[in-house]
Structure 1
């Protein structure tokens, strides 16, 4: 009788992912991005070695890790958030808060949750956004052991510090999305570099308002920050560290037009906007200088994009103390 020979399974981090058709994407303003200027992010399975993860992070400026947290834990957080916001009328009648489907009869501008000057005018809606940041369920989510232990192991830290001012954000279909920036703009007061974790809270299709990263753009971000710093040398210390000083755009963003910015920064070479279909449990980690922003939410299912932005330092590192004073609030000036 012939003996069958079974090949050894291929390690997850060596699997080749089949390319998918690229969706049409745009940012808050401007044209749809040419398909030749869009590409898929490189996914990293959770069982990849730490050494390989660090190599990818150094090479790409980001690390898109699959299944960092259990899916149901993340969906529980999504359900809690939309139960909290449901009195504002944000959800489509008859749908589950766990799904987070936007009511198409509502005006998107009335339900912006991107923070800063893009808040809804209605005070009740503003209060719901603010109090969501102090919910015991959300605060417990920030301490999720899978996430926090991953950060420590990946960074090689004994202890990590998560800054208090986290940003829990929703983007409704056809509403305003996050502008294009690099994170150091807003955390200039600390000398230490930090690690950003962008956590999608629920599934988020590429066209559903998820983050997109300008390929290999951290060198450009560093050069921009050096230029901004030199031009601000005669500012007061408070003005110099502000993400809204006179060298910056009104809202601190580099642009709200991804198609235009990519062409402006790279006239002679093509750097793509990298995107992904995010699933609940995934996390993207990136360095402080990588240029990124959100696509406009045009999710075909009408799902609201929900996410939180977290910044980690090593315990004892000189961090930006402004971001440790309190949780996010609309008038905190940051």
Structure 2
């Protein structure tokens, strides 16, 4: 097990996911380790780190204004649904304090007919620096971005099973393509611990890959909402951090991850996207070549 610095939860607040409180003991909770500056341009070191840890945490990969501009676009486009607090700047992403007036149909129309297939989202996901990184890291002259790209917001104050992303690994949902598909998780705006960012089960990709190859996995899809028990089962830690606008995490399709509950005291929503890249020469899962929709069966 690698060593990570101790984690301090926000004042007077435990870290929870789907209502379960994470064990704060040092052998169960640690910090996500950023790629050191000395390794950022070292392909051999990056690949070794990725194989060892299952992820690359790249702070400041994008200019902060790039993701903040898209954050403003998202909340502007969905504002008519009553999602955000009236009279606030859409770029702040402050949730309406009373969601009883939230128009789900209007929101879905704005999201699935406007934001998801829109040119702004496509441009964000095909940023030149991102495409160049994946060509370089994968050693592929051409890379493929899966058209099914997912964008989520997390409301503050929600708790209980189903309100946060449960523990899972991505290959479960991408079995008809290559295992060399890589995920980018991008927080669209600052995402401190209280706002409910992504968390990773330390080095879990080694065990998951071995279990996959041996056909021993008992729970092939979403593993569990009970993150503390899963850390006990694997005898490892959940890795967390305070993300900033411009950060990106690249992770293995075998690495188990989940999200924290959003308990932001100021009512700020978490907004993030997860997208997948692979070599264009590898097998591609045809089911992921349509725009994301809640009714797409995946």
Match of 2:173 in 1: 186
Q: CA deviation at 1:18?
A: 7.7
**Quick check: 1:198–1:284 contact (8 Å CA) kept in 2?**
yes
CA root-mean-square deviation:
2.3
Separation of aligned partners in 2, 1:188 and 1:18: 35
| 1:134-213 correspondence runs (5 A) | 134-175=117-158, 176-213=163-200
Match of 2:20 in 1: 30
Match of 1:234 in 2: none
Separation of aligned partners in 2, 1:99 and 1:81: 11
Separation of aligned partners in 2, 1:52 and 1:22: 31
Match of 2:292 in 1: 328
| 1:246-285 correspondence runs (5 A) | 248=219, 252-263=221-232, 265-266=233-234, 269=235, 271-285=236-250
Could you report, residue by residue, the CA deviation over 1:250-299 in whole angstroms, capped at 9, with x for unpaired residues? xx411112112222x23xx4x11001111111100000100000011112
Give the structure-2-normalised TM-score: 0.88
| 1:16-165 correspondence runs (5 A) | 21-23=8-10, 24-36=14-26, 37-44=28-35, 48-50=40-42, 51-106=44-99, 122-131=104-113, 132-165=115-148
The 1:315/1:61 distance shift into structure 2, 3 A limit, reads same
Choose 1 or 2 for highest CA Rg: 1
Separation of aligned partners in 2, 1:258 and 1:192: 25
Could you report, residue by residue, the CA deviation over 1:63-91 in whole angstroms, capped at 9, with x for unpaired residues? 00011111101100000000011111111
Q: CA deviation at 1:135?
A: 1.4
Helix, strand or coil: the match of 2:294? coil
Separation of aligned partners in 2, 1:184 and 1:75: 30
Helix, strand or coil: the match of 1:319? coil
Q: How many residues align?
A: 284
Helix, strand or coil: the match of 2:17? coil
Q: CA deviation at 1:303?
A: 1.5
**Quick check: 1:195–1:285 contact (8 Å CA) kept in 2?**
yes
**Quick check: 1:22–1:35 contact (8 Å CA) kept in 2?**
no
Could you report, residue by residue, the CA deviation over 1:5-59 in whole angstroms, capped at 9, with x for unpaired residues? xxxxxxxxxxxx9866344211113234334311111012566233322222121
Helix, strand or coil: the match of 2:108? helix
**Quick check: 2:7–2:24 contact (8 Å CA) kept in 1?**
no
Give the structure-1-normalised TM-score: 0.79
Separation of aligned partners in 1, 2:203 and 2:53: 6
Separation of aligned partners in 1, 2:17 and 2:142: 37
Separation of aligned partners in 1, 2:269 and 2:18: 16
- In structure 2, the gaps of 5 or more residues are none
Could you report, residue by residue, the CA deviation over 1:183-210 in whole angstroms, capped at 9, with x for unpaired residues? 0010011144211111111110122111
Separation of aligned partners in 1, 2:178 and 2:192: 36
Structure 1: which 4+ aligned runs deviate by more than 6 Å? none
Separation of aligned partners in 2, 1:292 and 1:19: 19
The 1:183/1:87 distance shift into structure 2, 3 A limit, reads same
Helix, strand or coil: the match of 1:322? helix
**Quick check: 2:69–2:91 contact (8 Å CA) kept in 1?**
yes
Separation of aligned partners in 2, 1:287 and 1:104: 37
Could you report, residue by residue, the CA deviation over 1:128-166 in whole angstroms, capped at 9, with x for unpaired residues? 231221111111111111111122222222111001001
Helix, strand or coil: the match of 1:281? coil
Match of 1:292 in 2: 257
**Quick check: 1:200–1:278 contact (8 Å CA) kept in 2?**
yes
Separation of aligned partners in 1, 2:138 and 2:252: 12
